């Protein structure tokens, strides 16, 4: 009986299953873009919005309705820098494009308020306040642009402070090329018609109140070229009803 009791104490280790540790999981690769961005960009009807923003108090409101609308691009996005900026861009229709670069002095009191509407087909807007992404200019900008119709093209370049814009275009194939380089200037263009061409330049300090441009034009196939320059104020005020007109105005001192 004693030998039997002692024999029960010996148990083979093979009776226990071997413990297997779990394999460490492989973490997923960190992606820098949306997983379907590459494939989606290859589709012609894909709407695209690119925003690269730095600074405080930025309020961006973008509405796109239609096909192939583009606001910014991978190499030239809506580019916001500075304080207290508010951007609203509304595009309705097909083939609209908007490229925007707004720069205000970071840490300063730079203010930029931009509202752009493109209603129609094949409109293109290229907007700058600071002319380059590395530019710290354009301390203030109040801009309100509206385009209704097809194939309108708007190009605006500005560098400096207190740039003011107010645009309202109704018609087709109107082209605006504007360089508001003066630190104190304002521009208002109200146009109804087709195939009108505008080339606007404002340079110099423009005195205390700055350079002022106001155009109210109804008609088609007009060409308007204005140059305002110098250290003192200049004012250009055009009210015109008609077509095939040519306006060449240069003023400054």
| Global confidence as pTM | 0.69
Banded pLDDT at 12 (limits 50, 70, 90): low
Tens digit of pLDDT for each residue in 178-197?
888 887 888 999 999 989 99
The stretch 232-252 carries a mean pLDDT of 95
**222 has pLDDT over 80:** yes
Query: What's the confidence (pLDDT) of residue 107?
Result: 44
How far apart are alpha carbons 211 and 193 in whole angstroms? 26
Tens digit of pLDDT for each residue in 71-102?
777 566 677 776 677 778 888 877 788 888 77
Q: Which of 77, 174, 166, 187 is nearest to 122 (CA)?
A: 174
CB-CB contact of 65 with 95 (8 Å): no
Looking only at the bridges linking them, the beta strands covering 124-128 and 97-103 are: parallel
Beta-carbon contacts of residue 142 (< 8 Å; ≥ 6 apart): 113, 163, 164, 165
Query: What's the confidence (pLDDT) of residue 237?
Result: 95
How far apart are alpha carbons 87 and 104 in whole angstroms? 13
Higher-confidence residue of 87 and 13: namely: 87
Query: What's the confidence (pLDDT) of residue 7?
Result: 47
How far apart are alpha carbons 30 and 215 in whole angstroms? 53
CB-CB contact of 228 with 182 (8 Å): yes
User: Residue 229 pairs with which residues in a beta bridge?
Assistant: 252
Q: Which of 176, 174, 115, 118 is nearest to 147 (CA)?
A: 118
**248 has pLDDT over 80:** yes
Higher-confidence residue of 4 and 65: namely: 65
């Amino acid at each position: 009986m004693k030998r039997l009791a002692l024999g029960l104490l010996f148990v083979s280790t093979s009776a226990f299953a071997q413990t297997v540790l779990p394999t460490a999981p492989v973490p997923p690769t960190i992606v820098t873009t949306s997983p379907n961005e590459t494939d989606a960009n290859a589709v012609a009807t894909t709407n695209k919005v690119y925003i690269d923003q730095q600074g405080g108090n930025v309020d961006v409101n973008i509405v796109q309705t239609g096909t192939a609308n583009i606001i910014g691009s991978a190499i030239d996005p809506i580019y916001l820098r500075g304080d207290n900026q508010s951007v609203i861009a509304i595009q309705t229709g097909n083939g609209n494009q908007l490229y925007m670069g707004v720069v205000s002095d970071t840490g300063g009191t730079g203010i930029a308020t931009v509202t752009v509407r493109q209603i129609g087909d094949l409109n293109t807007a290229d907007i700058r306040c600071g002319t380059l992404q590395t530019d710290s200019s354009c301390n203030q900008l109040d801009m309100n642009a509206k385009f209704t119709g097809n194939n309108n093209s708007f190009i605006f370049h500005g560098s400096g402070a207190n740039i003011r814009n107010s645009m309202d275009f109704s018609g087709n194939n109107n082209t605006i090329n504007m360089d508001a380089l003066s630190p104190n200037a304002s521009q208002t263009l109200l146009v109804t018609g087709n195939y009108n061409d505008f080339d606007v330049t404002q340079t110099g300090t423009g005195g205390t109140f700055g350079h002022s441009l106001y155009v109210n034009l109804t008609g088609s196939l007009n060409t308007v070229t204005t140059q305002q320059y110098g250290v003192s104020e200049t004012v250009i005020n055009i009210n015109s009803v008609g077509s095939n007109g040519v306006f060449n105005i240069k003023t400054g001192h």
